Structure 1
Amino acid sequence: MTASDIELVGTTESAAAPLIEARELTRHFRVGRGFSRQLLHAVDDVNFTIGRQEIVALAGESGSGKSTIARLLAGVYKPTSGEIYYQGRAMSTFRSRKDQLAYRSDVPMVFQDPFSSLNPAFRVSHGILRSLKLHRPELNKQQRYEEAERVVEAVGLTPAGEIMQRYPYELSGGQRQRIGFAQALAHKPKLILADEPVSMLDVSIRIGLLNLMAELRRSEGVSFLYITHDIASARYVADRLMIMYAGHVVEKGPTESVLQNPKHPYTDLLLGAVPDPRAPLSTGIEGDTGEPPKVIDPTPGCRFRWRCPLAIDRCHEETPQLRVLGTNHEAACHVAEPDRAGSGSATVPG
């Protein structure tokens, strides 16, 4: 990324501003035709920030809206309403090709499937060199190759020169996913959107990819939005955790705080499904009951109420907003109680 691009994207950057901030981020999709046309509420009124050199995990079941948020941040989808701010500047103002290339260089994405994310017709060096040519035009051919070798070595693949000459079918699933991280790293990114990057890999090699994310944060200064349905891996690698259900962020806070002292019944349900031997987990929710979430033209009220044994009348009438229930710990639940020594239950925008 050139100096002019940095100046263009980050003119309003300040040390106090978060790297990425989403304000009331909403994305709806039209489904059906004619008189049967309805709205699918994939993401509704989501607020969050990601700081510099921070790993934030976004967890939830399939269909909760996690990947939609990643695609909104990547610019694949445009928000129905709300705004995304990058280093203090609204993403909706990135209208020129130069603006968009600069942003996509800073915020690349690593996809879930390592078997289809690489073109089988080209050597693995092709995608890395192509990214360098597009996003870092100041480099000449020799410099691009040297930088490609550097990022391949940075993701733990050696010897880099030999690895780069291989075709995707000659690599294991874990190696292919590391090449995906190398392609993102070639941009000199500030934030990598990792959409379930280990879910299709064997359990035995997942820990290596999680350690890679932590090492890249340390050595390259890059932040991560780590999207997962695996609470254990989120606990292992993330500084902060957001729990998503049916298009809403229902709980967020420091990872250990959320997992050791869950405030939302859905978080409790997730923890009950994945017991952790390192710490006692809450047993307030003994099992899953009721109906799946309603996200097509949903009515007001908590979207978890159909499955929640703690639901009260208010849960069916009023959509709960995130409230501060502990130190930097928020949950969107009418029946959740604040920590005794916490900061109270003041309502915050959600």
Structure 2
Amino acid sequence: MPDDPGQELLRAEHLTKHFKIGGALARHTLHAVDDVNFSIGRREIVALAGESGSGKSTIARLLARVYTPTAGEISYEGKPLSRLRSRRDRLRYSGQVPMVFQDPFSSLNPVFRVSHGVLRSLKLHRPELSESQRRDEAARVFEVVGLDAEMLQRFTYELSGGQRQRVGFAQALVTRPKLILADEPVSMLDVSIRIGLLNLMAKLRDEENVSILYITHDIASARYVADRLIVMYAGQIAESGPIEDVLASPKHPYTQLLLSAVPDPRAPLGVAAETDRGEPPKVIDPSPGCRFRWRCPLAIDTCSRVTPVLAELAPGHQAACHVAQSGAEVKAFSA
């Protein structure tokens, strides 16, 4: 029986990751992720959006246990990851929460045929299968992701970029995952190919009962496939909520800025977006206050002194903005 789509699968509470910079005697700290709270439900696609350097990929690596949190906790199916002690428990988690990378070459070995990585994952995570069963399962997942089983015998260089990315999803799928961490999976593909990968993610949610954390800088693609949207800026969550609600009525000026950067085919030639407005985010030893205040035309005195926290401004819709929380209309950038 499929999992209840409203049931929580993973939760991050006060998740923080800092990096010391400057060598052995480092005196500075890069705040890659700061006090982040969010959850992912079963059979749900959550889009994590923001500019480069906002902390999106750091969160993916924290969830994949590549990085150890500086503070905070990640719970999977109600159990804290910090309590995963045995190799069996860690292997089970890595199989149920695999990653699909931006560059498919990161997970494909060009020396071997495509089947090598898929069969190796099956042998590691599903040792109960016989060799013939592993080959049958590899052929099945290739069909699920839209590839012919014949492609298992090809080398990486014989595949197109879109096919290689589908192989990455196939490698993730053979471990019977419950949550796939997809880190910018379509950003290196031609626009004409991206829609097929977005449709594949929706198919995995609907037919394979898989949740997906879709990390992207492209809000337009997030709107196409995601159920919820989390917008990050400078290591913090700026806004989150049901994607249609957030995009129809963005409460944070930064979300409005991202939306203003989406190309509008109706706009006259020469109209430029305002994404370059103001200073870049300060994430090295940041001072108190809103980290977006240097780029925000609505910033008030409180913004420079008090770090805003997420507050619910509509059902399920949260924003970390002093101006929005005061009840004032937030109209900083035109979409």
Q: Identify whether the pair has TM-score above 0.5, normalized to the shorter chain.
A: yes
CA contact (8 A) 1:235 1:256 kept: yes
Q: Which of 76, 95, 104 is the equivalent residue of 1:114? A: 104
Structure 2, gaps ≥5 residues long? 267-272, 329-335
- Residue of structure 2 in register with 1:25 after alignment: 15
1:286–1:181 CA distance, 2 compared to 1 (3 A): closer
Give runs of aligned pairs for residues 162-181 of structure 1, distance below 5 A. Answer: 162-181=150-169
Alpha-carbon distance in structure 1 between the residues aligned to 2:247 and 2:124: 42
One-letter identity of the residue aligned with 1:73: L
One-letter identity of the residue aligned with 2:161: G
CA contact (8 A) 1:17 1:88 kept: no
Q: 1:265-313 CA deviation, whole Å, 9 max, x = no partner?
A: 00000011114579xxxxxx96643211110111110000111110011
74-83 or 329-338, larger mean C-alpha shift? 329-338
One-letter identity of the residue aligned with 1:248: Q
1:15–1:311 CA distance, 2 compared to 1 (3 A): closer
CA contact (8 A) 1:64 1:246 kept: yes
Q: 1:235-255 CA deviation, whole Å, 9 max, x = no partner?
A: 000000000000001100000
Q: Which of 208, 223, 238 is the equivalent residue of 2:226? A: 238
One-letter identity of the residue aligned with 1:56: V
CA RMSD in angstroms comes to 2.0
- Residue of structure 1 in register with 2:30 after alignment: 40
- Residue of structure 2 in register with 1:347 after alignment: none
Aligned-pair CA distance for 1:218: 1.1
Alpha-carbon distance in structure 2 between the residues aligned to 1:239 and 1:14: 15
User: Is 1:191 aligned to residue 191 of structure 2?
Assistant: no
Give runs of aligned pairs for residues 130-169 of structure 1, distance below 5 A. Answer: 130-158=120-148, 160=149, 162-169=150-157
State percent identity of aligned pairs.
71
User: Is 1:94 aligned to residue 88 of structure 2?
Assistant: no
Alpha-carbon distance in structure 2 between the residues aligned to 1:107 and 1:53: 13
Alpha-carbon distance in structure 2 between the residues aligned to 1:192 and 1:140: 25
- Residue of structure 1 in register with 2:304 after alignment: 316
CA contact (8 A) 2:56 2:215 kept: yes
Aligned-pair CA distance for 1:135: 0.3
User: Is 1:274 aligned to residue 227 of structure 2?
Assistant: no
Aligned-pair CA distance for 1:17: 5.4
Alpha-carbon distance in structure 2 between the residues aligned to 1:218 and 1:14: 12
1:206–1:111 CA distance, 2 compared to 1 (3 A): same
Q: Which of 66, 82, 87 is the equivalent residue of 2:56? A: 66
Query: SS of the residue aligned with 2:182?
Result: strand
Alpha-carbon distance in structure 1 between the residues aligned to 2:166 and 2:23: 42
What TM-score does the superposition give when structure 2 sets the normalisation length?
0.92
Instruction: After the TM superposition, list the runs of 4 or more consecutive aligned residues in structure 1 that deviate by more than 4 angstroms.
Output: 13-17, 275-278, 285-288, 337-340
Q: Which of 277, 286, 292 is the equivalent residue of 1:298? A: 286
CA contact (8 A) 2:261 2:274 kept: no
**How many positions carry a matched residue from both structures?**
320
Alpha-carbon distance in structure 2 between the residues aligned to 1:251 and 1:110: 25
Q: 1:87-119 CA deviation, whole Å, 9 max, x = no partner?
A: 000000001101100000100000000234311
What TM-score does the superposition give when structure 1 sets the normalisation length?
0.88
- Residue of structure 2 in register with 1:260 after alignment: 248
One-letter identity of the residue aligned with 1:67: S
Alpha-carbon distance in structure 1 between the residues aligned to 2:275 and 2:171: 42
Structure 1, gaps ≥5 residues long? 1-12, 279-284, 341-350
Q: Which of 323, 326, 334 is the equivalent residue of 1:335? A: 323
CA contact (8 A) 1:269 1:288 kept: no
One-letter identity of the residue aligned with 1:105: G
166-175 or 111-120, larger mean C-alpha shift? 111-120
Q: Which of 49, 54, 57 is the equivalent residue of 2:47? A: 57
CA contact (8 A) 2:147 2:163 kept: yes
Query: SS of the residue aligned with 1:115?
Result: helix
- Residue of structure 2 in register with 1:282 after alignment: none
One-letter identity of the residue aligned with 1:21: R
1:93–1:214 CA distance, 2 compared to 1 (3 A): same
114-123 or 45-54, larger mean C-alpha shift? 114-123
Alpha-carbon distance in structure 2 between the residues aligned to 1:17 and 1:174: 32
Aligned-pair CA distance for 1:260: 0.9
- Residue of structure 2 in register with 1:281 after alignment: none
Alpha-carbon distance in structure 2 between the residues aligned to 1:323 and 1:287: 25
Alpha-carbon distance in structure 1 between the residues aligned to 2:104 and 2:26: 38
CA contact (8 A) 2:205 2:211 kept: yes
Query: SS of the residue aligned with 1:76?
Result: coil
Alpha-carbon distance in structure 2 between the residues aligned to 1:58 and 1:125: 31
